Protein backbone atom coordinates (compact mmCIF):
# COMPACT_ATOMS: atom_id res chain seq x y z
CA UNK A 1 0.00 0.00 0.00
CA UNK A 2 1.24 3.46 -0.81
CA UNK A 3 2.50 5.70 1.98
CA UNK A 4 -0.39 7.87 3.17
CA UNK A 5 -0.09 11.64 2.82
CA UNK A 6 1.55 13.36 5.77
CA UNK A 7 0.26 16.35 7.72
CA UNK A 8 2.37 18.95 5.89
CA UNK A 9 0.76 18.05 2.55
CA UNK A 10 -2.71 17.49 3.98
CA UNK A 11 -2.80 20.94 5.64
CA UNK A 12 -2.78 22.77 2.28
CA UNK A 13 -5.34 24.05 -0.22
CA UNK A 14 -5.52 22.35 -3.64
CA UNK A 15 -7.32 23.01 -6.91
CA UNK A 16 -9.41 20.00 -7.87
CA UNK A 17 -11.13 21.42 -10.98
CA UNK A 18 -12.04 24.56 -12.82
CA UNK A 19 -15.40 25.70 -11.48
CA UNK A 20 -16.91 25.83 -14.97
CA UNK A 21 -15.96 22.18 -15.60
CA UNK A 22 -17.94 20.73 -12.68
CA UNK A 23 -21.18 19.18 -13.94
CA UNK A 24 -24.46 18.91 -12.05
CA UNK A 25 -24.12 15.17 -11.48
CA UNK A 26 -21.62 13.78 -8.93
CA UNK A 27 -18.20 12.98 -10.31
CA UNK A 28 -15.16 11.18 -8.83
CA UNK A 29 -11.97 13.09 -8.21
CA UNK A 30 -8.79 12.37 -6.25
CA UNK A 31 -6.35 14.16 -3.99
CA UNK A 32 -3.26 12.95 -2.11
CA UNK A 33 -4.07 9.27 -2.58
CA UNK A 34 -7.68 9.61 -1.44
CA UNK A 35 -10.91 9.41 -3.45
CA UNK A 36 -13.29 12.33 -3.58
CA UNK A 37 -16.81 12.82 -4.90
CA UNK A 38 -17.57 16.29 -6.27
CA UNK A 39 -21.19 17.30 -6.72
CA UNK A 40 -23.41 20.37 -6.78
CA UNK A 41 -26.26 20.93 -4.35
CA UNK A 42 -29.68 22.31 -5.34
CA UNK A 43 -28.30 25.90 -5.53
CA UNK A 44 -25.39 24.81 -7.71
CA UNK A 45 -22.87 25.17 -4.86
CA UNK A 46 -20.00 22.73 -5.28
CA UNK A 47 -19.77 20.14 -2.48
CA UNK A 48 -16.65 18.01 -2.09
CA UNK A 49 -16.66 14.87 0.03
CA UNK A 50 -14.14 12.15 0.67
CA UNK A 51 -15.20 8.67 -0.41
CA UNK A 52 -13.94 6.29 2.24
CA UNK A 53 -12.71 2.75 1.61
CA UNK A 54 -16.10 1.32 2.67
CA UNK A 55 -17.82 3.52 0.05
CA UNK A 56 -19.38 5.88 2.59
CA UNK A 57 -19.13 9.62 1.97
CA UNK A 58 -17.59 11.90 4.59
CA UNK A 59 -18.78 15.33 5.70
CA UNK A 60 -18.37 18.14 3.14
CA UNK A 61 -14.77 19.35 3.00
CA UNK A 62 -13.93 23.05 3.25
CA UNK A 63 -13.91 24.73 -0.16
CA UNK A 64 -12.88 28.08 -1.62
CA UNK A 65 -13.93 29.32 -5.06
CA UNK A 66 -11.22 31.60 -6.44
CA UNK A 67 -9.64 32.50 -9.77
CA UNK A 68 -12.07 30.21 -11.58
CA UNK A 69 -11.19 27.13 -9.52
CA UNK A 70 -12.56 25.02 -6.70
CA UNK A 71 -9.99 24.64 -3.92
CA UNK A 72 -10.32 22.14 -1.11
CA UNK A 73 -8.31 20.54 1.66
CA UNK A 74 -8.15 17.21 3.47
CA UNK A 75 -6.43 18.79 6.47
CA UNK A 76 -6.43 21.99 8.50
CA UNK A 77 -4.54 24.71 6.64
CA UNK A 78 -3.00 27.35 8.91
CA UNK A 79 -3.98 30.09 6.48
CA UNK A 80 -6.16 30.82 3.47
CA UNK A 81 -4.98 31.16 -0.11
CA UNK A 82 -1.95 33.27 -0.99
CA UNK A 83 -2.21 36.86 -2.24
CA UNK A 84 -2.50 37.47 -5.97
CA UNK A 85 -3.49 41.13 -6.43
CA UNK A 86 -2.79 41.10 -10.20
CA UNK A 87 -5.72 38.73 -10.67
CA UNK A 88 -8.10 41.57 -9.71
CA UNK A 89 -6.75 44.09 -12.23
CA UNK A 90 -9.63 44.65 -14.64
CA UNK A 91 -7.59 44.94 -17.86
CA UNK A 92 -5.98 41.53 -17.56
CA UNK A 93 -7.17 38.52 -19.51
CA UNK A 94 -7.94 35.60 -17.21
CA UNK A 95 -7.01 32.50 -19.18
CA UNK A 96 -7.90 29.14 -17.62
CA UNK A 97 -5.85 26.73 -19.72
CA UNK A 98 -7.43 23.35 -18.90
CA UNK A 99 -6.15 20.51 -16.72
CA UNK A 100 -3.29 18.34 -17.92
CA UNK A 101 -2.74 14.86 -16.44
CA UNK A 102 0.92 14.08 -15.83
CA UNK A 103 2.45 10.80 -14.70
CA UNK A 104 5.02 12.42 -12.44
CA UNK A 105 5.34 13.68 -8.88
CA UNK A 106 3.63 17.05 -8.51
CA UNK A 107 6.80 18.36 -6.87
CA UNK A 108 8.75 17.54 -10.02
CA UNK A 109 6.31 19.71 -11.97
CA UNK A 110 6.92 22.67 -9.66
CA UNK A 111 10.66 22.17 -9.92
CA UNK A 112 10.51 22.01 -13.72
CA UNK A 113 8.48 25.24 -13.73
CA UNK A 114 11.30 26.98 -11.81
CA UNK A 115 13.97 25.79 -14.22
CA UNK A 116 15.17 28.09 -17.00
CA UNK A 117 17.98 25.85 -18.26
CA UNK A 118 15.59 23.63 -20.22
CA UNK A 119 14.05 26.44 -22.32
CA UNK A 120 16.28 26.14 -25.43
CA UNK A 121 16.16 22.33 -25.44
CA UNK A 122 12.52 21.61 -24.56
CA UNK A 123 10.79 24.76 -25.87
CA UNK A 124 13.09 25.24 -28.83
CA UNK A 125 12.53 28.47 -30.81
CA UNK A 126 9.76 29.55 -28.41
CA UNK A 127 11.11 30.09 -24.89
CA UNK A 128 14.74 29.61 -25.87
CA UNK A 129 17.11 28.74 -28.71
CA UNK A 130 20.75 27.86 -29.22
CA UNK A 131 23.27 29.39 -28.88
CA UNK A 132 21.61 31.40 -26.04
CA UNK A 133 21.63 28.54 -23.54
CA UNK A 134 23.29 30.11 -20.51
CA UNK A 135 21.27 30.76 -17.34
CA UNK A 136 22.51 34.10 -15.99
CA UNK A 137 23.09 34.59 -12.30
CA UNK A 138 19.87 35.15 -10.34
CA UNK A 139 18.82 35.43 -6.69
CA UNK A 140 16.87 32.94 -4.59
CA UNK A 141 15.44 33.38 -1.11
CA UNK A 142 12.97 31.82 1.29
CA UNK A 143 10.85 34.80 2.37
CA UNK A 144 10.08 34.01 5.99
CA UNK A 145 7.40 36.71 6.43
CA UNK A 146 5.15 35.10 3.82
CA UNK A 147 6.70 31.59 3.92
CA UNK A 148 7.31 31.48 0.16
CA UNK A 149 10.27 30.65 -2.07
CA UNK A 150 11.20 33.44 -4.51
CA UNK A 151 13.68 33.67 -7.37
CA UNK A 152 14.33 37.17 -8.71
CA UNK A 153 16.56 38.93 -11.25
CA UNK A 154 16.04 36.05 -13.66
CA UNK A 155 16.43 36.66 -17.39
CA UNK A 156 16.52 34.58 -20.53
CA UNK A 157 16.63 35.31 -24.25
CA UNK A 158 13.38 34.11 -25.83
CA UNK A 159 12.53 33.90 -29.55
CA UNK A 160 8.75 33.90 -28.81
CA UNK A 161 8.25 34.88 -25.17
CA UNK A 162 4.46 35.12 -25.50
CA UNK A 163 1.91 35.01 -28.25
CA UNK A 164 1.95 38.82 -28.27
CA UNK A 165 5.75 39.07 -28.66
CA UNK A 166 7.10 40.17 -32.04
CA UNK A 167 10.56 38.72 -32.43
CA UNK A 168 13.09 37.66 -29.81
CA UNK A 169 13.43 39.55 -26.52
CA UNK A 170 15.45 39.30 -23.33
CA UNK A 171 12.67 38.27 -20.95
CA UNK A 172 12.83 39.08 -17.25
CA UNK A 173 11.31 36.62 -14.80
CA UNK A 174 10.43 36.35 -11.13
CA UNK A 175 9.32 33.03 -9.68
CA UNK A 176 7.26 32.42 -6.59
CA UNK A 177 6.38 29.17 -4.80
CA UNK A 178 3.46 29.94 -2.51
CA UNK A 179 2.79 26.41 -1.23
CA UNK A 180 4.50 23.05 -1.81
CA UNK A 181 2.34 22.34 -4.91
CA UNK A 182 1.51 25.92 -6.02
CA UNK A 183 3.75 28.18 -8.05
CA UNK A 184 3.61 31.15 -10.39
CA UNK A 185 5.89 33.31 -12.44
CA UNK A 186 5.97 36.96 -13.38
CA UNK A 187 7.49 37.63 -16.78
CA UNK A 188 8.10 40.56 -19.08
CA UNK A 189 4.85 41.63 -20.63
CA UNK A 190 5.48 42.32 -24.34
CA UNK A 191 2.33 44.50 -24.50
CA UNK A 192 2.99 46.69 -21.40
CA UNK A 193 6.57 47.67 -20.60
CA UNK A 194 6.09 48.45 -16.90
CA UNK A 195 3.95 45.46 -15.92
CA UNK A 196 4.36 41.72 -15.55
CA UNK A 197 2.34 38.92 -17.09
CA UNK A 198 1.43 36.32 -14.47
CA UNK A 199 1.34 32.59 -15.17
CA UNK A 200 0.25 30.26 -12.37
CA UNK A 201 0.60 26.52 -12.11
CA UNK A 202 -1.68 24.91 -9.57
CA UNK A 203 -0.77 21.25 -9.09
CA UNK A 204 -3.24 18.67 -7.83
CA UNK A 205 -1.33 15.65 -6.50
CA UNK A 206 -3.48 12.56 -7.18
CA UNK A 207 -0.91 10.02 -5.99
CA UNK A 208 2.80 10.20 -5.22
CA UNK A 209 3.74 9.86 -8.89
CA UNK A 210 0.63 11.11 -10.66
CA UNK A 211 -1.01 14.50 -10.75
CA UNK A 212 -3.04 17.02 -12.68
CA UNK A 213 -1.64 20.45 -13.49
CA UNK A 214 -3.96 23.45 -13.77
CA UNK A 215 -2.22 26.31 -15.59
CA UNK A 216 -3.91 29.72 -15.55
CA UNK A 217 -2.67 33.05 -16.90
CA UNK A 218 -3.43 36.65 -15.99
CA UNK A 219 -1.99 38.51 -18.91
CA UNK A 220 -2.16 41.81 -20.73
CA UNK A 221 -2.89 41.11 -24.37
CA UNK A 222 -5.74 42.80 -26.22
CA UNK A 223 -4.93 41.17 -29.55
CA UNK A 224 -4.80 37.38 -29.21
CA UNK A 225 -7.91 35.23 -29.10
CA UNK A 226 -8.62 33.22 -25.97
CA UNK A 227 -8.30 29.98 -27.93
CA UNK A 228 -4.91 30.91 -29.35
CA UNK A 229 -3.61 31.83 -25.88
CA UNK A 230 -4.82 28.53 -24.43
CA UNK A 231 -3.21 26.63 -27.32
CA UNK A 232 0.10 28.47 -26.85
CA UNK A 233 0.21 27.55 -23.16
CA UNK A 234 -0.87 23.96 -23.82
CA UNK A 235 1.85 23.53 -26.43
CA UNK A 236 4.46 24.65 -23.87
CA UNK A 237 3.05 22.41 -21.18
CA UNK A 238 2.84 19.32 -23.40
CA UNK A 239 6.52 19.80 -24.25
CA UNK A 240 7.24 19.78 -20.51
CA UNK A 241 5.10 16.70 -19.93
CA UNK A 242 7.29 14.55 -22.15
CA UNK A 243 10.32 15.49 -20.05
CA UNK A 244 8.50 15.17 -16.74
CA UNK A 245 7.19 11.68 -17.44
CA UNK A 246 10.67 10.45 -18.29
CA UNK A 247 12.49 11.81 -15.25
CA UNK A 248 14.04 9.23 -12.91
CA UNK A 249 13.64 8.71 -10.08
CA UNK A 250 9.94 9.49 -10.49
CA UNK A 251 9.66 10.86 -6.96
CA UNK A 252 11.56 13.99 -5.95
CA UNK A 253 14.73 13.31 -3.94
CA UNK A 254 15.16 15.79 -1.09
CA UNK A 255 18.61 14.66 -0.05
CA UNK A 256 21.10 17.23 -1.36
CA UNK A 257 23.47 14.67 -2.82
CA UNK A 258 20.87 12.63 -4.68
CA UNK A 259 21.12 14.86 -7.78
CA UNK A 260 24.03 17.19 -8.34
CA UNK A 261 22.88 20.81 -8.65
CA UNK A 262 24.57 23.45 -10.81
CA UNK A 263 24.52 27.23 -10.31
CA UNK A 264 21.39 27.43 -12.47
CA UNK A 265 19.56 25.18 -9.99
CA UNK A 266 19.73 27.42 -6.91
CA UNK A 267 15.96 27.88 -6.92
CA UNK A 268 15.47 24.12 -6.90
CA UNK A 269 17.94 23.77 -4.01
CA UNK A 270 15.96 26.37 -2.02
CA UNK A 271 12.66 24.67 -2.90
CA UNK A 272 13.86 21.26 -1.74
CA UNK A 273 15.28 22.73 1.48
CA UNK A 274 11.96 24.48 2.16
CA UNK A 275 9.98 21.24 1.52
CA UNK A 276 12.25 19.39 3.91
CA UNK A 277 11.85 22.05 6.60
CA UNK A 278 8.09 21.73 6.30
CA UNK A 279 8.21 17.95 6.49
CA UNK A 280 6.61 17.43 3.07
CA UNK A 281 7.02 13.80 1.99
CA UNK A 282 4.13 13.24 -0.46
CA UNK A 283 5.67 12.91 -3.94
CA UNK A 284 9.19 12.68 -2.52
CA UNK A 285 11.60 9.80 -2.34
CA UNK A 286 11.80 10.20 1.46
CA UNK A 287 11.47 7.03 3.48
CA UNK A 288 10.85 8.57 6.90
CA UNK A 289 7.52 10.23 7.53
FE1 LIG B 1 9.09 24.08 -19.56
Check residues 265 and 29 and name the one with the higher pLDDT.
29
* Span from the CA of 122 to the centroid of ligand 1 (angstroms): 7
* Span from the CA of 155 to the centroid of ligand 1 (angstroms): 15
The pLDDT tens digits for 55-66 are 999 999 999 999
pLDDT computed for residue 288 by the predictor: 47
Measured distance CA(95)–CA(23) in Å, rounded: 20
* Span from the CA of 186 to the centroid of ligand 1 (angstroms): 15
Q: What is the mean pLDDT of the chain?
A: 94
pLDDT computed for residue 287 by the predictor: 64
The pLDDT tens digits for 179-193 are 999 999 999 998 888
* Span from the CA of 247 to the centroid of ligand 1 (angstroms): 13
Mean pLDDT in residue range 230-242: 94
**Position 74 confidence tier, pLDDT thresholds 50, 70, 90:** very high
Percent of the chain exceeding pLDDT 90 equals 87
The strand pair at 100-102 and 139-143 is best described as unpaired
Measured distance CA(59)–CA(63) in Å, rounded: 12
pLDDT computed for residue 166 by the predictor: 87
* Span from the CA of 106 to the centroid of ligand 1 (angstroms): 14
**Position 289 confidence tier, pLDDT thresholds 50, 70, 90:** very low
pLDDT computed for residue 1 by the predictor: 63
The pLDDT tens digits for 30-46 are 999 999 999 999 999 99
pLDDT computed for residue 165 by the predictor: 85
Measured distance CA(24)–CA(103) in Å, rounded: 28
The pLDDT tens digits for 129-174 are 999 999 999 999 999 999 999 999 999 999 998 888 888 889 999 9
* Span from the CA of 174 to the centroid of ligand 1 (angstroms): 15
* Span from the CA of 112 to the centroid of ligand 1 (angstroms): 6
Q: Is the pLDDT of residue 105 over 80?
A: yes
* Span from the CA of 232 to the centroid of ligand 1 (angstroms): 12
* Span from the CA of 279 to the centroid of ligand 1 (angstroms): 27
pLDDT computed for residue 264 by the predictor: 82
Q: Is the pLDDT of residue 256 over 80?
A: no
Q: Is the pLDDT of residue 253 over 80?
A: yes
Amino acid sequence: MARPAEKASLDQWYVIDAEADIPAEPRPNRLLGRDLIVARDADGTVIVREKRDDGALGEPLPTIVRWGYIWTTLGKPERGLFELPEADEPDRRHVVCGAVAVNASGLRIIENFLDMAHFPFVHTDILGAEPNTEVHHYTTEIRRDVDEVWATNCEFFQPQAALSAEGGIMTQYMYRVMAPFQTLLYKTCPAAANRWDVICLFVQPLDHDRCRAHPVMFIIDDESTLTSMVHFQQLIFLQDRIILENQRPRLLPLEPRAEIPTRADISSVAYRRWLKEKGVTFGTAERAA
